[in-house]
Amino acid sequence: MTDRPTPDFNDPEVLAQLRARQRSRALFMAGILIALCVMFYVITIVKIGVWG
């Protein structure tokens, strides 16, 4: 068993780390979504033959 103490989310330092984690995940997800939008756009342009 490797039980570890539960972090105290009332601790400002822990809370700040939680927020930093959430922010990095949100930014990463935004990056993925933007990349997908660009990819779908380019695929569509290629498929309709604009670029031959």
> Rule CB under 8 A: which residues touch other proteins?
1-7, 13-14, 17-18, 20-22, 24-25, 28, 39, 42-43, 46-47, 51-52
Q: Which two tokens stand for residue 1?
A: 């068993």
Residue 43 CB, shortest distance to other proteins, in Å, is 5
The answer to whether the CB of 14 falls within 8 A of the CB of 7 is yes
Residue 31 CB, shortest distance to other proteins, in Å, is 9
Distance CA 17, CA 19 (A): 5
Residue 34 CB, shortest distance to other proteins, in Å, is 15
Q: Where are the alpha helices (DSSP H) in 1-52?
A: 12-47
